[in-house]
Amino acid sequence: MEIKDLKFKWAYLFGFFLILALPLLNLPPWFSPPDWGKTIVFRIVLSSLIFVFIWQVLEQKRLSIKTSLPFWLLISLLGIFFLATIFSLDRNFSLWGSPYRSGGFINFAFYIFFAILAFLILKESDWQKIWDFSILIGILVSIIAIFQQLGLVSKIFIPYEARPPSTLGGPIFLAIYLLLLTFLTLGFGLKEKKGGKKFFYFLSFLLFLFVIIFTTQTRAAFIGLAIGFLWFFFFYPKKLILIKIIAAIIFLLGIYGIYYVNTQPRLPKFLEENKLLGGAISRLFSIKQALSDARVSAWKVSWQALKARLILGYGPENFSIGFDKYYDPSPPGIEKMPGAVTSWWDRAHNFIFDISISAGIPALLIYLSLFGVLFWQLQRLKKDSETALISHGIQATSIGYLVANFFSFDTFSSYLISFLLIGYSLSLISEDIPEKPFYFKVKGRSLIIFLLFLALIWFIWSFNIKPLQINTQINSAKYFVESRKCEEAISRMEGIMPKRSFLDAYLRLKYVEFLADCEEKKKMPQLSLEFVKKGYQLMKENIKIQPYYTRNWLLLNGFTNGLLDMFDKEESPEIFKELKKEANYYFEKANELSPKRQEIFIEGIKTDLITGEHQKAKEKAQKCIDLNPRLEDCYWLTGLTNIYLAEDEKAQENINIAGQKGYPIYSENSFLQLAKAYIETKNYQKLIEIYLELIRIRPVEPRYRASLAYLYREVGQFEKAGEEALKLLELVPEDKEKIEEFLRTLPTQELPR
């Protein structure tokens, strides 16, 4: 079906231009996180274009397609991901993902539809307009990154001293997006005859290179560029010996540079003083650091997860299910996911594992076959001088893209350009393929079109506009929390809680996150009962929505511990017993989903300490240490367990180790935990030391003065007890009557006048 046969040609082109401009879209609170707003607009625009296309096909009663092996591989890729979604462990999450990554089968299917629609509709002259527009958007995205780095127009663009993300959410995502444009832009520049356009292409090419190398400083993109350039120059369609010699020299110098930087303790002084050049060179050649990166440790875990579900994987977006099941905290760096300070991995940062764990080995083979067959068929086109440079540029792009994604993963913008390239490649290789007509004899065509239109409106409202509105309210609540307006934030979250959508689990997790931030801003070491109750309720709802998500069970275990800690065991024994049973159950469920998670053992230890199961707590604490002795929390909890078991020497030894490893043993919260342990063991001398430290931290806190006065009386230090009571009177004169009553219990203590 050629575009000349289609009505509304302008509408299709306008829709494609609008879609290709989306990498620029980053406008909080409506379109944040960055990829969230982009995918919403993408789905709305593309679903509208698909509706118009189907309408016109039904009107014409025929569709002519130039089918080829890559075309059917693309359809097969859609089919295998659909099957993986059907058999997913968490089908709803596989379909939609969350705003955080904006992934899911629906979005992935739309990328494939985008490639197919572009292939079916666009002709050669339209393709050139499409790519020129994409390059222009790439230029604007690059300029924004430079503005961010230089601090220009800071009221509009958030300044970044190093590695700005532009509008794409991260420097590595920016680098891969520009890498996808780089080689094709170079190919257009070499092919173009007109001086003005040639200058535009070459200048764009140099700008993309500059931003990738000096602004994003992304190692994955460096490696992708290097391998891509090796292909581009060594296998250049024309026999330009000088260019190939220069490329070989640059390649050898690069190898020497890598060797030099990795064998020297530091860079030369003039490079270290230049942040732009020194930072780029340091990251460009820091191979040792790359090889010891957390990604490598995560790949080992990913391999174990993959072996358990080879055929259809765990389902799109369910990487974390498999990863948590086989998570091992012992490999170096795995406790910190790249770009975050968390061990909760939702991507492998490697396209091979991301695809195979999500949809199985067959999906990976189809994906690689698609690129491989396209590469081979583009190689055949290089015999034609008209398409040789463009085909060569696409080949170099494919190589660079796959190499870079060996250390990263796709986001909206890279998916958009990569599938646009697939559509363009299908168009190039199909020039000499005869069209195959498909005829449609459909009765009730008008009714079908009307029903499709209703389905379009329902899809746009229910799965795009409504979730967009909900997420906008979440972002507004986040702003209120950051502005210390917690009541407004809670009111905003409560207002959207009844609105059901595929964001239900995400909404509840964000609510808990905001509540925790508000608790932290109170600067009180104890959690409020309202916070704990609300978190408990939200997480009980979440385990029903996402029962395979380990963090739901872990958080629920934590909130149940909070309730246990606040309940009086003597006054409400039945409630305490039920909560204890629940806490143990949540620990077991979390441990079942991720048997080697130290975070889970930490909550389990807390449960045992609160409920008096001290020996069980000690056993779990030892397991926690055995899993990874680097984690300081395990030693701290072991020390607390030792106190409860009257193992004072071991307690001090483990507490000291926790402090050496970075645990805040001198914080208010830590002293309160120690106080609780010493209260239960009735070690008043230690308690006096603890409360003296607490008063040092917060000298105007009445509770600490009152406790210290009581302890001095219990150990017979009546004079000190009186002194503390008098200081307490100065802090809370309204409690004069109670304090005087306490003073009367002290021998020879005179009452204040």
Q: Which helix (H) or strand (E) holds 438?
A: strand 436-439
Predicted pLDDT of residue 735? 85
Domains in the chain with CATH codes: 64-291+362-439 (no CATH), 682-753 (1.25.40.10)
The candidate with the shortest Cα–Cα distance to 548, out of 503, 500, 590, is 590
Please, are residues 20 and 424 in contact by the beta-carbon 8 Å criterion? no
Rounded alpha-carbon distances, angstroms, from residue 30 to 27, 465, 470, 505: 6, 11, 9, 19
Cα 194 from chain centroid (whole Å): 44
Site of tokens 């120059």: 233
Cβ neighbours of residue 381 closer than 8 Å, sequence gap 6 or more: 387, 388, 391, 428, 429
Check residue 428 and give its pLDDT.
93
Q: Give residue 4's pLDDT.
A: 42
pLDDT recorded at residue 288: 55
Q: Which residues pair with 438 in a beta bridge?
A: 63
127 phi, psi to nearest 5 deg: -60, -40
Spatial separation of the C-alpha atoms in residues 137 and 424, rounded to whole Å: 18
pLDDT at 435: 79
Name the residue among 659, 590, 648, 581 with its Cα closest to residue 613: 581
For residues 81 and 108, what is the distance between their CA atoms, to the nearest angstrom? 9
Determine if the pTM surpasses 0.85: yes
Neighbour tally for 656: CB within 10 Å: 13
The DSSP output letter for 66 is: -
pLDDT at 3: 45
Which mean pLDDT values do the consecutive 10-residue runs of the chain (753 residues) have?
59 94 90 92 96 88 85 96 96 94 95 96 91 97 93 81 88 95 94 90 95 89 90 78 69 64 57 54 58 80 96 96 94 72 83 96 97 94 82 95 94 97 94 78 85 96 95 94 90 93 95 90 70 94 96 96 84 87 96 95 95 94 93 94 92 94 92 91 91 91 90 88 87 86 76 57
Other beta carbons less than 10 A from residue 523's beta carbon: 8
Radius of gyration in angstroms for the set of CA atoms belonging to the chain, rounded to a whole number: 31
Q: Write out the two tokens for 435.
A: 């069209």
- The total of other beta-carbon atoms located within 10 Å of residue 529's CB is 12
Candidates 37, 42, 39, 40; CA nearest to 17 is: 42
Residue found by looking up tokens 């604007």 in the block: 140
Q: Contact 175/220 with Cβ under 8 angstroms?
A: yes
What is the pLDDT, as a whole number, of residue 157? 79
Q: How many CB atoms lie within 10 A of CB 728?
A: 22
Q: Cα(447)–Cα(740) distance, rounded to whole angstroms?
A: 87
Nearest to 163 by CA among 176, 177, 180, 146: 146
